[in-house]
Amino acid sequence: MQKLIYKKGLILKVSSWENDGDHSRTIEYTPDTIEEGKALKRMCEDLFRSSNNDEGGIANDYGVSLESYEEMINEFFEKDEYFKGCPEEDRMEELEEIIDNLLGYSEEGYSCRLCESATLFEVKEDVYLDMVEL
């Protein structure tokens, strides 16, 4: 008997944490297109960096809401080829949905989780594993 592990297509694998490495998590997300996958990877690498240590991101800021970073978020959306078509009034909602899908929400009251890594994979064909019966 076989079990389907990955369907043919794309997988964006995102590893994240909060605070000082607490609550590490890895999420696998399936983008619809290569363009979407690349754009989400850019967002992870550009926006979801730490707000501390001069890293210039919006993540890992204790007690601060995402709205505090609205200017930086809008700047990212305006400069990114994929996201620039998103109307300004929809950007925060779009960002929150992306955070939910890729990082999950902070369990300790941080602005959002920090992206440790984002890797885009192309699965060329369905991947199955054979189940072993004892």
Total tally of structural domains belonging to the chain: 1
Distance CA 87, CA 71 (A): 14
How far, in Å, CA of 41 to CA of 102, rounded? 10
Query: pLDDT over 70 for what percent of the chain?
Result: 99
Instruction: Classify residue 134: in a domain, yes or no.
Output: no
The answer to whether position 132 is within a domain reads: no
Q: Domain containing 26: what range?
A: 13-123
pLDDT per position as a tens digit, 77-91 = 999 999 999 999 999
Q: What pLDDT shows up at residue 10? A: 98
